[in-house]
């Protein structure tokens, strides 16, 4: 059982494409580390580093998916990009929010946890809906 606030890799998240699965795992691991950094009130150093790492992994990953979707004409590409944009704007917002002083961050903890849980819920949902559709589609295309 995973601690509340984290997300664990599930068999149903597997895409069948190794590169993508590794990217998803890196994203999940970093998101979990972000949760523990918030819980431990490590706002300044640790959380900044983790959010930068998250930005790095997410940027590469969403670009990889969008490139595949474009290359193979995934029918739901607009929906996919809009959904990705939602994640981008949420963590960019979190990056902005946590830049305040230690005191400001502490007063914003419930909101910071809220933004984290939005990202976690987004990921768990996205992996089994739009991502799953994309990878089912791609596996067929890659066979051709």
Nearer to Fe ion, 56 or 111 (CB): 56
Six-digit token string for 59: 């940027």
Binding region for Fe ion (CB under 5 A) out of 28-36, 48-56, 82-90, 129-137: 129-137
Q: Give the separation between CA 34 and CA 49, rounded to whole angstroms.
A: 9
Is 131 a binding residue for Fe ion by CB under 5 A? The answer is yes
Binding region for Fe ion (CB under 5 A) out of 79-87, 99-107, 113-121, 124-132: 124-132
- For 1-68, give the DSSP string: -PPTT-----GGG--S-HHHHHHHHHHHHHHHHHHHHHHTT-IIIIIHHHHHHHHHHHHHHHHHHHHH
**Shortest separation between residue 136's beta carbon and Fe ion, angstroms:** 13
Residue showing the smallest CB distance to Fe ion in the complex: 131
Write out the binding residues for Fe ion, residues 90-109 only, by CB under 5 A. Answer: none
């Amino acid at each position: 059982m995973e601690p509340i606030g984290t997300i664990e890799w599930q068999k149903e998240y597997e895409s069948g494409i190794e590169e993508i699965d590794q990217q998803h795992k890196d994203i999940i691991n970093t998101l979990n580390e972000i949760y523990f950094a918030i819980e431990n009130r490590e706002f300044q150093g640790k959380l900044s580093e983790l959010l930068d790492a998250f930005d790095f992994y997410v940027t590469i990953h969403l670009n990889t998916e969008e490139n595949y979707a474009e290359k193979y004409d995934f029918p739901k590409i607009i929906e996919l990009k809009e959904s990705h944009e939602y994640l981008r704007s949420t963590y960019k917002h979190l990056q902005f929010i946590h830049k305040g002083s230690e005191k400001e961050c502490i007063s914003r903890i419930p909101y910071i946890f809220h933004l984290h849980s939005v990202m976690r819920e987004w990921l768990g949902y996205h992996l089994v809906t739009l991502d799953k559709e994309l990878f089912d589609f791609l596996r067929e295309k890659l066979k051709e």
